[in-house]
Amino acid sequence: MKTHTILMPLDMHLHLRDGVMLENVAPLTAYSFSGGIIMPNLVPPVNTLEDVKAYRARIMAAVPNDFFEPYMTLFYRNYDKAFLQSVADEITAIKLYPAGITTNSEGGVSSFDIEEMRETLEAMSDLEIPLCVHGETDGFVMDREAEFMSIYELLAKNFPKLKIIMEHITTKDAVEMLDKYENLYATITVHHLLLTLDDVIGGMMMPHLFCKPIAKRPEDLDALLSVALSAHPKVMFGSDSAPHPQHKKESCGCAAGVFTAPIALQLLCEIFEQYDKLDNLQDFVSDNAQRIYGICPEFKEITLEKRPFVVPEHYSSVVPMYAGEAINWAIASVD
Ligand code: DOR
Ligand code: ZN
């Protein structure tokens, strides 16, 4: 049987939520990943030192049987330097959401006035705290990410030493930005390496494939595949696995988010094998992130094998991507 081994896989964009949902989903990621960047869009958002420490403790309590490093983040607002100094050792990054652009982002940034943001972003730059960004405007849905490129350029030019991560990129425009600015990096989800808008709404409307940013055009998918499969050194895997209870997905007013945590590595193997690029998967799913973030996860070895695996219909209240369908790779062992 064909097998493939990955060392210390990292999920550089992960929603673990809180309470019962945290207890349901955190073990699924902790089983097969060494660590992940934990998104702070809780209600209320994670924006104090106490919030970070307490949330980290709740995550650790939810994964008692696995070694898993939660790389914590703060929800961006204009913080002063003294505060950032006091919290720097507890966080790996700060996540910026434009106000109201996605789930629980109401308290995000409502105007990208560089002078208003300067103190915070300069302090982050000095303290070497990366800025993770949900890069969408409130424009026409297919153009939101492309319209945000001018804001990425503004940030990249004004803060050349600040590491800026363009989160869950979905467009050729974003891919092209990677080689224009030294300090711009990106995460890519597994679902955006598989889907276009056609898969989401082109036939039946598929609520479990609906997320923000929405999957785009075939040429965008090709551009994402080209940088992921070649493990472009500025690109990392970040699942954006975003669990919502089934009733919030299968209802009028479907919540945005695709739940991929338990099948992400298997799907990545399938995609990279399909294009004969399995040799590049280690860089995409771990080594690039280790280098970009300067992190050093503890040893974990995941072996996958090529055999059909039927994705469960549910993980408690959450329906995963490809529920009930067979995928081609399965996890064989975790050491
Ligand atoms: O689809 C999404 N779901 N996109 C986001 O940016 C947030 C996420 C969530 O938290 O549900
Ligand atoms: Zn997200």
Q: How many CA atoms lie within 13 A of 23 on its CB side?
A: 4
Which ligand places an atom closest to the C-alpha of 187? 2
The predicted structure's pLDDT at residue 125: 98
Q: Report how far residue 154's alpha carbon sits from residue 163's, in angstroms, rounded to the nearest whole number.
A: 13
Q: Which domains does the chain have, with CATH numbers?
A: 3-334 (3.20.20.140)
**Token pair in block for residue 270:** 């399938």
| Catalytic residue chosen out of the listed positions 240, 279, 283, 335 | 240
Per-residue pLDDT reduced to its tens digit, 180-196: 999 999 999 999 999 99
256 annotated as a binding-site residue: yes
Per-residue pLDDT reduced to its tens digit, 211-244: 999 999 999 999 999 999 999 999 999 999 999 9
Do 169 and 189 form a contact (C-beta atoms < 8 A)?
A: no
Output the CA 324–ligand 1 centroid distance in Å. 23
**Token pair in block for residue 21:** 């949902």
Note if 283 is an active site residue. no
Q: Is the pTM of this model over 0.85?
A: yes
Pocket test for ligand 1, best of 17, 206, 211 (most atoms within 8 A of CB): 211
Helix axes 49-62 and 19-32, enclosed angle (nearest 10): 70
1 pLDDT above the threshold of 90: no
Per-residue pLDDT reduced to its tens digit, 53-78: 999 999 999 997 778 999 999 999 99
Output the CA 56–ligand 1 centroid distance in Å. 20
H or E element, residue 82: helix 81-87
Residues in the chain: 335
Output the CA 22–ligand 1 centroid distance in Å. 15
Query: Nearest to residue 13, comparing CAs of 90, 100, 71?
Result: 71
Q: Is the CB of 7 under 6 A from ligand 1?
A: no
The predicted structure's pLDDT at residue 65: 76
In one letter, which amino acid is 269?
Answer: C
Burial of 81 (0-12, 13-18, 19+ CB in 10 A): middle
Do 15 and 41 form a contact (C-beta atoms < 8 A)?
A: yes
